[in-house]
Structure 1
């Protein structure tokens, strides 16, 4: 359970790092602002035309008597907006990282150079278009997984008591896991670690992942907060990625946190992981 606190400290360390590097923080805000505008437009469209869409999708209820018709379609409209809001939280990070791939990759590399004992950082040996393709492909796979979880949890939410107590907790833990995967992917992909290997690393340290991603997922529920936390979240995820791979880190941000032994992973080459995902 100590890993929960360690994961949360990585989140705080990332925010402190960008606070000390204002230029990197400013550049890191741009992709989040672009994504925010797109998501607000979609949610506004749902709010304005959601009722019309529900009416169009439920012609079988046209002959229902009042008040059942209004209650039924009103509930479906609310559920549609709630589902859109949930999906926006789940997919915000993936879309922002895809839009801001060059920004966040540069930020993550600077974090690596800053905390590495020898001042170096792993660099991708692939062209930018190839990195973008891999990032987009992997993000789509993660989003599909997250959507399946979202639909399952949405359905379980109708179970009395359990749906109002246990299911929301599980939902935030699932959201935290997928947020952490997307954020650590920036640093891990640069090291040639593919999706299947990344998921194995994260599953091996679930409490560390939940300590980092679950508070972040809760914070993302507050409007506009996600935009301002994204640069620091990428920085903190880079520090956590070093921990997951057992890399040394200087200046107190040690990959091996005092009292929590690091768990080095076997060396994973790009060739090996790519072949493993086919």
Structure 2
């Protein structure tokens, strides 16, 4: 039986957008935002150059069956959604690799703002620098978890008819990954291992999917995806505080 509260999960991203407006959190929003603007420019260029190529390549893999040719618009749409989801999460991966030390500290400050309690007594820039190797390793763990599952879904998506189901699975998987991606920041601040985090979120899967769904949607929207990352970090801190109090 799935546990958690899907609708409660939906509210955490909105809470994150409100939190990033707090004066004490703004600096650690502005720095990643500048990084995201630069990355978005590169992604937009890559998307413009590669989208048609990727779509044509996927369409060419379809069998030459007459009834399939009449549905080429549907497959074009499905492949388009999958490719955009892949690129959106690719943007998130790269943005988080670069900004992970700032995001960990942003999650810490957000939790302190919400609870009034210290998470880590060392609040220096030196601590942020010392945390870089650990933060990068956590990002690598998430990539290693993501890639084989993404590859399996991509292969399934190449199978005619089955790819309709694969598109839905892709969206659910991306929502799950967004929850894992961002709740990992407050979890890491509490020294919760990545495998333990996965088990914890699995115990509140509906809440996790509710949180990850709007993040996945926002990551696909130009301009909005520039600010959704720090908002999602703050929302994840709120998720951590609230869901750890709810059974």
TM-score (norm 2): 0.74
Verify the 8 A CA contact 1:146 1:178 in the aligned structure 2.
Answer: yes
Higher relative contact order (CA 8 A, sep 6+): 2
The superposition leaves residues 25-53 of structure 1 with CA deviations (integer Å, 9 ceiling, x where unpaired) of 4641432442342353255256548999x
Post-superposition offset of 1:174: 0.9
In 1, Cα distance between equivalents of 2:120 and 2:239: 17
Post-superposition offset of 1:147: 2.1
Aligned CA RMSD, in angstroms, stands at 3.3
Count of matched residue positions in the alignment of Structure 1 and Structure 2: 221
Residue 155 of structure 2 is matched in structure 1 by 155
The alignment status of 1:17 with 2:19, answered yes or no, reads yes
Residue 73 of structure 1 is matched in structure 2 by none
Residue 145 of structure 1 is matched in structure 2 by 145
Task: State the SS of the aligned residue for 2:221.
Answer: coil
The alignment status of 1:44 with 2:45, answered yes or no, reads yes
- Describe the shift of the 1:49–1:97 C-alpha distance in structure 2 as closer, same or farther (beyond 3 A): closer
Residue 252 of structure 1 is matched in structure 2 by none
The superposition leaves residues 224-265 of structure 1 with CA deviations (integer Å, 9 ceiling, x where unpaired) of 211122222111100111234x3xxxxxxxxx4xxxxx13xx
Question: How do 1:251-270 and structure 2 match up within 5 A?
Answer: 256=245, 262-263=246-247
Verify the 8 A CA contact 1:8 1:212 in the aligned structure 2.
Answer: yes
Post-superposition offset of 1:109: 2.3
Verify the 8 A CA contact 2:4 2:203 in the aligned structure 1.
Answer: no
Verify the 8 A CA contact 2:175 2:216 in the aligned structure 1.
Answer: yes
Question: How do 1:1-278 and structure 2 match up within 5 A?
Answer: 3-19=5-21, 21=22, 24-25=25-26, 27-41=28-42, 44-45=45-46, 47-48=48-49, 85-116=84-115, 119-123=116-120, 127-164=127-164, 166-244=165-243, 246=244, 256=245, 262-263=246-247
- Describe the shift of the 1:82–1:229 C-alpha distance in structure 2 as closer, same or farther (beyond 3 A): closer
- Describe the shift of the 1:106–1:2 C-alpha distance in structure 2 as closer, same or farther (beyond 3 A): closer
Residue 259 of structure 1 is matched in structure 2 by none
Structure with higher helix content? 2
In 1, Cα distance between equivalents of 2:7 and 2:52: 44
- Describe the shift of the 1:17–1:161 C-alpha distance in structure 2 as closer, same or farther (beyond 3 A): same
Ranges in structure 2 where 5+ consecutive residues have no aligned partner: 54-78
Which one has a bigger Cα radius of gyration? 1
In 2, Cα distance between equivalents of 1:173 and 1:14: 21
Post-superposition offset of 1:203: 1.4
TM-score (norm 1): 0.67
Task: State the SS of the aligned residue for 1:100.
Answer: helix
Verify the 8 A CA contact 1:90 1:146 in the aligned structure 2.
Answer: no
